[in-house]
Copies of this chain bind each other. A is one copy, B any other.
Amino acid sequence: MKNINRVNRVKKEELLVDESIFSIANGYMGTRGTFTEGYGTEYEYNQTYINGLYEFYDYHYEENLTGFPQEGQKFVNIIDGTNIRITFQKNRINLETCNIVSLEREYNLEKGITLRKIHYQTKDEKYDFYLEETKFVSRFIKELIGIELIIYSPNYPHEIKVKSFLRQSKRNHEKNNDPRIQTLDNSMEIIAIDCEKGSITSKTERSKFTVESTMIHNVDLYNKVDDKMIKASGYFKIDKPLKVQKYVIHSSSLYDENYEARTKEIVKKLESLSWDNLLQEQEKYSNEFWNNSNIETTNAETTKLLNYNIYQLNNCGGESDIHNISAKGLSGEGYEGHYFWDTEIYMIPFFVLTNPLKAKNLLLYRYQTLELAREEARELGYSKGVKIPWRTINGEEASPYYPAGSAQFHINSDVAYAIVKYFEATNDIDFLINYGFEMLIETARFLQEATNYHEGFYHLNSVTGPDEYTTVVDDNFYTNILMKYHFNETVYLYNKYKKELEKCISKLGITEKEMKVLEDIGENIYLPFDKELNIFAQDKNFLSKARLNLDDIPKDKFPLLLNYHPLYLYKHQVLKQADTMLALLLLDFEQLDILEDTFNYYEPITTHDSSLSKCIYSIMAFKLNKSKMARKYFNEVLNTDYKNTHNNTEQGLHVANLGGSYIGFAYGVLGLRIHRGYLKLEPHRMNDLEGFNLKIQYQNETVTISLSDKLVIETTGDVKLNIYGKMIEVSNVYKTDLPE
């Protein structure tokens, strides 16, 4: 059984965190795990999002320098239909009026639904109310949310009132001062209400998206328009369980130009579909998902969290090239629904290995927004190529703080890296010809123009690496070595597929001379290395800075960014997240003495204040056979949201970390790496993780990797593997012992 269960979590913090944990989504749309009947508290705030649907807002700078983005984008809390109030004797059933005798919640990952059973008792102990809620965002009809509420009381003799809403959800609770969070109060403007149909049409004023939201119920409720909302009410006895089923449909102009026709089509479809039909479809989708993605290990807790994490990752996007996957997916408002390089480096590996089509969609999103990336390159002063935005929804750079935003030039190579790995894992030559190679070239052109040749080496000045506790530096190792990889692979693919790429080469005016320049940079890019320490330096000057002793800093001063001025952080050797180590992972750097010294140097000064960090250290610790540390980090990765270790899961799931769970397992425990022409494996066995089973897609074959007494590889066709340094070809089954 693949379930997440939580019992009796009714404190404010628990409820808000569980809204994220029990958030449901289908990649296109998501809604948080609020109580359908409402809490009745000031922090009640229902949120439903459509992936890629955003509104603009003006940025204000006290010093508005040239090229700063003038508009922000934020995704929108659309018209909400997830609230059904139950009223008894003029009181609503909720946390304020009743005591909670028991609360059980379940995320059923096999059925693709959330379940909640709650037993309310009125404060005078007179009445008991039992509610059972089932919710899903449909995998069959992408615009559909299904909610079922079963209401029963053994001792309340009167009729209750059921009042189901379609309305703008309003925030009542306090805003947060965290720079990583903006609030989405600015909702949609209602432009039409159709009481009979039970629908509200709303739009975003500046970005011009329209959403038609419609609610349909299985029981007779009377629709009434009141203060820009629709209330559907009815009175019912609940001496026997009353079953209220509600469908909420959100058709939007983002996905259907004719969103009204789309609504009609769905309404019609629903006439011939029962609630159970929809649940069956939901389960069918889940079955397929697990069939491709299921992970089994000998540790039940690890298995449970791993599967939950990838299940939620899969819900976040990648269904279309119109959207991407935001830092919080569709589970919360943190980072305003923005897409980051998290996608390419932390999330795409999961899709490449389990569902390459979704990986392709995510990369195509970058292709679709390339023109805006071109404009951003010009904005930054460059005459060539594109600069992939550091944060965006619609493809325009929206980073208002360039030192930890636009200055991250590495994102160009991150995208290139993901393209190359996607291609290596799929051999999707059509993608390369039609999209991938153009992106490799255009992202390279920008970087090439940004380099500076000086004293025998190419340098990249004034850029920021992944670690945001050191910004705008010269020769960030990560950026430079990723660029090296990016340029080398581009030249390699050019030489190998010159003929296939003919059209693209001609369209982009690529010349041999240009390729020579890329090759030269690839060979002679400066990579800062400290001989005495035998480590790569995070950047040219990093090692000359004062090393921050994290043990001296009080626990309540973390995350440091909320407690120290950026200049204080920037002048110290201290990391928010893996930087050099991430590069060494991605490049599969194999010189173990340097790898170990570099790990030992950076690990103690890494705060992991970013959730993009621990999975990388876990993987590298596995690589270095620091099993205890590796396992510790891996556990922390698995539990980031489940145990709310960053204290902000209420703002949404840490989606990069969900992907980090997968690579923590695949790259860490299994030591898997995708290489040109082969897969590399170096599995680890541990006391509390003796065996596992994982299925991946690789070059159109299915590969199953199991560890029990032996390591067993099963494939559906010919696959080249490198197992513990030994190259083999497997066409069916391969068995081997693990080395001592």
Q: Interface on A for B, CB 8 Å cutoff?
A: 59-68, 72, 177, 179, 379-382, 400-404, 406-407, 450, 452, 454-455, 459, 461-463, 471-472, 474, 540-541, 544-546, 561-568, 570-571
Could you name 14 residue pairs across A and B whose Cβ atoms are closer than 8 Å?
Answer: A61-B62, A61-B179, A63-B400, A64-B177, A66-B565, A380-B567, A403-B403, A452-B545, A452-B571, A455-B544, A459-B544, A461-B544, A461-B571, A462-B567
**A459, A562, A566 — which one has the most chain B CB atoms within 10 A of its CB?**
A566
List chain B residues, Cβ under 8 A from A59: 62
Q: Is the CB of B62 within 8 A of A561?
A: no
List chain B residues, Cβ under 8 A from A545: 452, 454, 459, 461-462, 474
For the complex formed by this chain, how many copies does it contain in all?
2
Q: Is the CB of B568 within 8 A of A381?
A: yes
With both beta carbons as reference points, the residue of chain B lying nearest to A562 in the complex is identified as: B66
A121→B59 CA distance, assembly (Å): 49
**A64, A407, A452, A571 — which one has the most chain B CB atoms within 10 A of its CB?**
A571
With both beta carbons as reference points, the residue of chain B lying nearest to A563 in the complex is identified as: B66
Please give the distance in Å from A148's CB to the nearest CB on chain B: 41
Q: Is the CB of B401 within 8 A of A65?
A: yes
Picked from B379, B471, B546, the residue with its CB within 8 Å of the CB of A565 is B379
Q: Is the CB of B567 within 8 A of A402?
A: yes
Q: Is the CB of B472 within 8 A of A381?
A: no
7 smallest CB-CB distances across A and B, nearest first, come from A67-B565, A62-B400, A381-B568, A462-B571, A63-B401, A452-B546, A461-B571
Known: A60-B60, A64-B177, A177-B64. A380 touches B541 (CB 8 A): no
List chain B residues, Cβ under 8 A from A65: 179, 401, 561, 565-566
Picked from B401, B459, B544, B568, the residue with its CB within 8 Å of the CB of A380 is B568
Q: Is the CB of A72 within 8 A of B62?
A: yes
Q: Is the CB of A454 within 8 A of B564?
A: no
Q: Is the CB of B60 within 8 A of A546?
A: no
Picked from B379, B455, B544, B566, the residue with its CB within 8 Å of the CB of A454 is B544
Please give the distance in Å from A23's CB to the nearest CB on chain B: 25
Known: A402-B566, A472-B472, A570-B472. A544 touches B63 (CB 8 A): no
List chain B residues, Cβ under 8 A from A567: 67, 380-381, 402, 406-407, 462-463, 472
Known: A179-B64, A546-B461. A571 touches B450 (CB 8 A): yes
Please give the distance in Å from A475's CB to the nearest CB on chain B: 9
Q: Is the CB of B61 within 8 A of A564?
A: no
**A60, A67, A68, A461 — which one has the most chain B CB atoms within 10 A of its CB?**
A461
List chain B residues, Cβ under 8 A from A68: 565
Q: Is the CB of A66 within 8 A of B561?
A: yes
Please give the distance in Å from A375's CB to the nearest CB on chain B: 13
**A63, A64, A72, A472 — which one has the most chain B CB atoms within 10 A of its CB?**
A63
Please give the distance in Å from A452's CB to the nearest CB on chain B: 4
Q: Is the CB of B63 within 8 A of A62?
A: no
A561→B64 CA distance, assembly (Å): 10
A562→B565 CA distance, assembly (Å): 27
Please give the distance in Å from A196's CB to the nearest CB on chain B: 43
List chain B residues, Cβ under 8 A from A380: 565, 567-568
List chain B residues, Cβ under 8 A from A60: 60, 62
Please give the distance in Å from A73's CB to the nearest CB on chain B: 12
List chain B residues, Cβ under 8 A from A462: 545, 567, 570-571
List chain B residues, Cβ under 8 A from A561: 65-66
A474→B540 CA distance, assembly (Å): 11
Please give the distance in Å from A447's CB to the nearest CB on chain B: 12
Please give the distance in Å from A69's CB to the nearest CB on chain B: 9
With both beta carbons as reference points, the residue of chain B lying nearest to A450 in the complex is identified as: B571
Picked from B62, B66, B404, B459, the residue with its CB within 8 Å of the CB of A566 is B66
Picked from B63, B379, B452, B541, the residue with its CB within 8 Å of the CB of A461 is B541
Since A64-B177, A462-B545, A472-B567 are in contact, a sample of 19 more A-B pairs with Cβ atoms closer than 8 Å, ordered by chain A residue number, is: A61-B179, A61-B401, A63-B179, A63-B401, A64-B179, A66-B562, A67-B564, A67-B565, A67-B568, A402-B565, A407-B567, A452-B545, A459-B544, A459-B545, A461-B546, A461-B571, A462-B570, A472-B570, A474-B544
List chain B residues, Cβ under 8 A from A571: 450, 452, 461-463
With both beta carbons as reference points, the residue of chain B lying nearest to A455 in the complex is identified as: B544
List chain B residues, Cβ under 8 A from A463: 567, 571
With both beta carbons as reference points, the residue of chain B lying nearest to A68 in the complex is identified as: B565
List chain B residues, Cβ under 8 A from A67: 564-568
A570→B464 CA distance, assembly (Å): 12
Q: Is the CB of B541 within 8 A of A541?
A: yes
**A402, A455, A565 — which one has the most chain B CB atoms within 10 A of its CB?**
A565
With both beta carbons as reference points, the residue of chain B lying nearest to A179 in the complex is identified as: B63
Known: A66-B566, A462-B567, A567-B406. A541 touches B544 (CB 8 A): no
List chain B residues, Cβ under 8 A from A474: 541, 544-545
A68→B61 CA distance, assembly (Å): 13
A68→B566 CA distance, assembly (Å): 9
A72→B60 CA distance, assembly (Å): 14
Please give the distance in Å from A546's CB to the nearest CB on chain B: 4
Please give the distance in Å from A372's CB to the nearest CB on chain B: 16
A462→B541 CA distance, assembly (Å): 10
A177→B63 CA distance, assembly (Å): 10
List chain B residues, Cβ under 8 A from A546: 452, 461
List chain B residues, Cβ under 8 A from A565: 65-68, 379-381, 402, 406
With both beta carbons as reference points, the residue of chain B lying nearest to A560 in the complex is identified as: B66
A450→B568 CA distance, assembly (Å): 9
A380→B568 CA distance, assembly (Å): 6
With both beta carbons as reference points, the residue of chain B lying nearest to A67 in the complex is identified as: B565
Please give the distance in Å from A468's CB to the nearest CB on chain B: 10
Please give the distance in Å from A178's CB to the nearest CB on chain B: 9
List chain B residues, Cβ under 8 A from A454: 544-545
Q: Is the CB of B66 within 8 A of A564?
A: yes
List chain B residues, Cβ under 8 A from A568: 67, 380-382
A381→B574 CA distance, assembly (Å): 14
With both beta carbons as reference points, the residue of chain B lying nearest to A474 in the complex is identified as: B541
List chain B residues, Cβ under 8 A from A403: 403, 472
Q: Is the CB of B62 within 8 A of A401?
A: yes
A565→B461 CA distance, assembly (Å): 14
Please give the distance in Å from A607's CB to the nearest CB on chain B: 14
Please give the distance in Å from A565's CB to the nearest CB on chain B: 3
List chain B residues, Cβ under 8 A from A455: 544
A681→B381 CA distance, assembly (Å): 46
Please give the distance in Å from A164's CB to the nearest CB on chain B: 38
List chain B residues, Cβ under 8 A from A544: 452, 454-455, 459, 461, 474
